[in-house]
Structure 1
């Protein structure tokens, strides 16, 4: 029984570590995770698509994570890659070559797809969410 409990604690702690980098955003930021098994054309196209809309991203409290198997970075700065396999392993569970995830303010997955995501579709999805609707109403007052 002790081995089982120890194993459970170890697994729980490991999962917490995977989420550690992203948990700091909960209730503050929405996240877009661009995940690819290698730095490929879809990965670059998705990055460029979102990079064209800095005001829309900021308005919707979106933080971009670019995640490759051995490293990740946030935002659009070119030289801030961090070495880690944890985010890739945690969020590419279906083992696809390319994946885009939208994570809401509450930390829940709101979108998970393996094709390009247009900024327009992304903004429409977010703008239809109840929390975003409340933000829009608050800003109009």
Structure 2
């Protein structure tokens, strides 16, 4: 019944990152104003620290498609629509393994702030206890 409700409201099909739920966390940076903010966000995040936390960084252009590790091409317009992102605004989202938006910002997020948010998540704390 819940699955049918989600399908009828677009909850499952509307999320372009749905196939990665329960596998990866996502940092999704949507290009907008100011120009270059997506690159600045990516530069702030050490790749080794992202991998250690099962995080995939996704850079979404204003239009067109972007390739996402484990998914293939994602349509920028569909991704913006799914998360209510203004096409002109830079936005960065932290999406948890459960698919929920855990953090949203209109400016790049410092690595320490992002990683402390992730490390405070119950699922991440469990992973750390297990050593994974």
TM-score, structure 1 normalization: 0.74
CA contact (8 A) 2:31 2:62 kept: yes
Q: Which one has the bigger helix percentage? A: 1
CA contact (8 A) 1:38 1:69 kept: no
Unaligned runs of 5+ residues in structure 2 are none
**Alignment of structure 1 residues 7-46 onto 2, 5 Å:** 12-13=9-10, 16-19=12-15, 21-37=16-32, 40-46=35-41
Q: Based on CA coordinates, which of the two structures has the bigger radius of gyration?
A: 1
Q: Distance in 1 between matches of 2:22 and 2:103?
A: 17
Do residues 62 (structure 1) and 55 (structure 2) align?
yes
> Which secondary structure does the structure 2 equivalent of 1:24 belong to?
helix
Q: Let me know the Cα RMSD of the aligned residues.
A: 2.8
Moved over 6 A (4+): 8-11
Q: Distance in 2 between matches of 1:54 and 1:117?
A: 15
Q: What count of residue pairs does the alignment treat as equivalent?
A: 124
Of 65, 74, 85, the match for 2:68? 74
CA contact (8 A) 1:69 1:89 kept: no
Structure 1 residues 10, 54: closer, same or farther in 2, change over 3 A? closer
Unaligned runs of 5+ residues in structure 1 are 1-7
| 1:104-134 CA-partner distances (Å, limit 9, x unpaired) | 1111110011111111111111111111111
